[in-house]
A and B are shown apart, each in its own frame.
Chain A
Amino acid sequence: NAGVTQTPKFQVLKTGQSMTLQCAQDMNHNSMYWYRQDPGMGLRLIYYSASEGTTDKGEVPNGYNVSRLNKREFSLRLESAAPSQTSVYFCASSEWAGTGGGETQYFGPGTRLLVL
């Protein structure tokens, strides 16, 4: 049981290049998320997917697109990378456990992206 996996672990891009960050989970969770982490700012939600076939914008969606390919996979695409997108990107998944259990998010190991 690998949990949440992300590829690549590290990437360097030049301004204007594109790339896709891949995420997969094997916990059969319905919900998946993409966050970015920047120093002193905690985690900020980029996009989320409540279930297969649906996606919605989070707090900082500009410059990103997502695809929920199937229940397991949720990818994040940068069409034209900018230096402001230099960050650490985390994918997470979760399942609603009812009002008594709430919802715990499970995180991948992250992708470190540097845009020059």
Chain B
Amino acid sequence: AQSVTQLGSHVSVSEGALVLLRCNYSSSVPPYLFWYVQYPNQGLQLLLKYTSAATLVKGINGFEAEFKKSETSFHLTKPSAHMSDAAEYFCAVSDRRTGGFKTIFGAGTRLFVKA
């Protein structure tokens, strides 16, 4: 069975500091991995996804994530936080066999950015 664990329900960084949001997954088959972002009062939108083409995935707004099979991790990073990055971030995993029908979302990490 698939599962996703996001470490830390809240993360606070200063503007300009490194952003690191942690995600570990469990999957019995090669997974697709996603990071979605949710701004206040909005739906989720895709930030980036891993589909096995490259282990380092670049997304929108300067975010990137690295797939590490040995660590079963897919952590999200951004070198320099901006105030506009304040949002909730969700890691998700889906099964290559069943696709989006079995996408499992993590509980989410709320990112706070201090001026």
Residues of A within 8 A of B (CB): 4, 31, 33, 40-45, 48, 50, 56, 90, 92, 94, 96, 99-110
Does the CB pair A96–B99 fall under 8 Å?
yes
Does the CB pair B53–A100 fall under 8 Å?
yes
B49 contact set on A, CB distance < 8 A? 102, 104
Does the CB pair A4–B101 fall under 8 Å?
no
Interface SS majority for chain A: strand
Does the CB pair A40–B51 fall under 8 Å?
no
Closest A residue by C-beta to B32 = A102
Interface string of B91-110 (1 = CB under 8 A from A): 00010100111010111100
A109 contact set on B, CB distance < 8 A? 41-43
Q: Does B83 contact A (CB under 8 A)?
A: no
Q: Does B90 contact A (CB under 8 A)?
A: yes
A107 contact set on B, CB distance < 8 A? 36, 43-45
Q: How far is it, in angstroms, between the C-alpha of A92 and the C-alpha of B94 when the chains are bound?
A: 15
Q: Does B72 contact A (CB under 8 A)?
A: no
Does the CB pair B107–A41 fall under 8 Å?
yes
A41 contact set on B, CB distance < 8 A? 107
Does the CB pair A100–B43 fall under 8 Å?
no
Q: How far is it, in angstroms, between the C-alpha of A31 and the C-alpha of B94 when the chains are bound?
A: 14
Does the CB pair A50–B90 fall under 8 Å?
no
B42 contact set on A, CB distance < 8 A? 109-110
